[in-house]
Amino acid sequence: MTAGDRLPWTARAEYRRLCAAPDMPPQTRSGVQRVSGIAVPADDGVALLTDHWAAEDAGPHTVLIRTPYDRDGVAAVARFLAERGHHVVVQSCRGTFGSGGRFRPLHDEVADGQATLRWLRAQPWATGLVHSWGGSYFGVTQWAYCDGELQPDAMGIAVSARRFDEAILYLGRGFSIDTPLAWAYALGVQERRLPARLWRLLRARGALARGARTVPPSEAVPAALGDDPRFFRDWVEHSDPGDPWWDPLHFASDPAAVPPVTLLAGWQDLFLVGQLQDHAALQSAGVRTRLIVGDWIHGAPEITEIGVREALRALGGEPETASVRVEISGGGGWRDLPAWPPASTPHPLELTADGRLLASGTAHEAGALTSRYDPADPTPDAGGRTLNPFSAGRRDQRRREGRDDVLLFTGEPLTAPLLVMGSPEIGLTLASTNPRVDVFVRLCELDERGRSRTVTDGYLRLPPPAAAGEPREVRIVLAPIAHRFAAGGRLRVQVSWGAHPLHLRNPGTSDPVRDHSRLVASTQTLFLGGATPAVLALPLPDDAAPAVHPGVPR
């Protein structure tokens, strides 16, 4: 074990950012020391390497962080919290950064988390509250505490979800290959020597694109990285909805047993839909829950700043100002809400055969539009809620909207700002020459210069009908939003049959995800107007008062 207080160079910028963030409690301690490499024993004897940060006169409370990434990566957070009087324990998950055993994502977090909590509760300095903290996989390790005998007193979970598979891997019943491929690539390079790591990171964009195009998809990681992690093949193999293989990896199955928790989500984050489903389940179970949602992609620095502030608020016993606080994207500022989603009234807009988006009930002729989907040239995603840093977030849609396999429906310029809060829904009637088809719907905003950018989207892999060509009604719930469409701008709806690699291309066959040896094209017909209208319902909040917080949440 070694002791020291010097931050690694990679953490210094984040530490300065935390010190400069508004409304942070002042530093109350100096002389913080880190004891590194403490061997905490797991139940099977494996040593889980752990760092303990604290000042000599630290208070009784502890912040607990378990991570599969470099412990130095959270050194800035650990020192910042320790300088405000708290013990901070940072542990490397099994099989990562010196901890023994093999890293099997999700599989060992319940047992190892319980062993760590037992060790922590036995320490003479850990006499107060234990507050677990962190986002993404750090959040997964926290949800795993809820399935054991010991739990933290409170949790701060950012951009994560209880059910990893349903939240980000198979959302909509297809395989969202972009995120697990990017994660496997990051894991595969993180412990390499610095020159090799930098070499791989500089080539990451091309490598991820190459992996996403690989057939069969089970070879995506070897094609991108050269390594062949078992977990990626497991996820490809167990991609059927409801596969019981995933049951032991669904954490916090009893929401009522979850301790008080603050959830930090992002409108552009890959965990958004699953995390808001978690919030709804916790609220229904009566768990004390605070929800903050900002207009962030995964890993945005604001998430760490607000997460640290929330942890310090909770440990300091400060009262909560609101149970829900959301940022209204499109420049609408922050708003406190009594609940999510807020009470709303649906505002229906109808898609027309001549490519317009009109108020429902407006007279127009019935018709149909057709487009061809070719899995050998799959429709690109052009951004979205993904871990891939080269495509995440709100991206320009010009290239995507120029393709023949994307149908466009555009509204008239708005005469006043339009505030939408909740989950838009769309009902469609379609037929396909192939019984196996995906539907991807994206809601965009066109500015006054005609630039189209993503607001939200929804995806569904349809079960095959009785016969090819049979019309069917489809209902898709788009991801939740709180967005202010600007006056003078226009709404646009894209309807397409894929968004690769945000969602792995549909091969047009019943072949499993691991295969794709056959790629079968199809032609889709979208029926519009008459007895089969295509209607987008936008949730307009009943209380449309202006946002009250122009800055970050306090």
264 - beta bridge partners?
158, 292
> Peptide bond before 501: cis, by omega within 30 degrees of 0?
yes
Dihedral angle over CA of 370, 375, 381, 386, nearest 10 = 140
Residue 53, by phi and psi: left (phi above 0), alpha (psi -120 to 50) or beta?
beta
Scored b (16 or more CB within 10 A) or e, 227-257 reads eebebbebbbebbeeeeeebeebebbeebee
The predicted structure's pLDDT at residue 1: 54
* Structure tokens belonging to residue 490: 């226009």
The predicted structure's pLDDT at residue 549: 46
**Would you give the distance in Å from CA 523 to the centre of its chain?**
32
Task: Specify whether the CB–CB gap between 372 and 405 falls below 8 A.
Answer: yes
Q: DSSP letters of 327-347? A: EEBTTTEEEEESSSSPPEEEE
The predicted structure's pLDDT at residue 545: 60
Rg (the chain; Cα; Å)? 24
Instruction: Identify the burial level of 359 via C-beta atoms within 10 angstroms of its C-beta, where 0-12 means exposed, 13-18 middle and 19 or more buried.
Output: exposed
The predicted structure's pLDDT at residue 550: 42
* Structure tokens belonging to residue 247: 């049951």
Q: DSSP letters of 205-253? A: HHHHHHHHH-SSGGGHHHHHHS---HHHHHHHHT-STT-GGGGGG----
* Structure tokens belonging to residue 12: 């210094």
The tokens 């939740």 sit on which residue? 480
The predicted structure's pLDDT at residue 8: 86
Question: For a pLDDT cut of 70, what percent of the chain falls above it?
Answer: 96
Which ranges of 161-203 does DSSP label H, i.e. alpha helix? 164, 178-189, 194-202
The predicted structure's pLDDT at residue 10: 83
271 phi and psi, to 5 degrees?
-90, 5
Task: Express each pLDDT in 253-278 by its tens digit.
Answer: 999 999 999 999 999 999 999 999 99
Task: Express each pLDDT in 342-392 by its tens digit.
Answer: 999 999 999 999 999 998 777 678 899 999 999 999 999 999 999 999 999
Gap between the Cα atoms of 104 and 304, Å rounded: 26
Gap between the Cα atoms of 130 and 116, Å rounded: 12
The predicted structure's pLDDT at residue 239: 86
Cβ count near 172 (within 10 Å): 19
Gap between the Cα atoms of 127 and 61, Å rounded: 7
Spans in the chain with pLDDT lower than 70: 1-5, 320-321, 363, 544-554
Cβ count near 103 (within 10 Å): 18
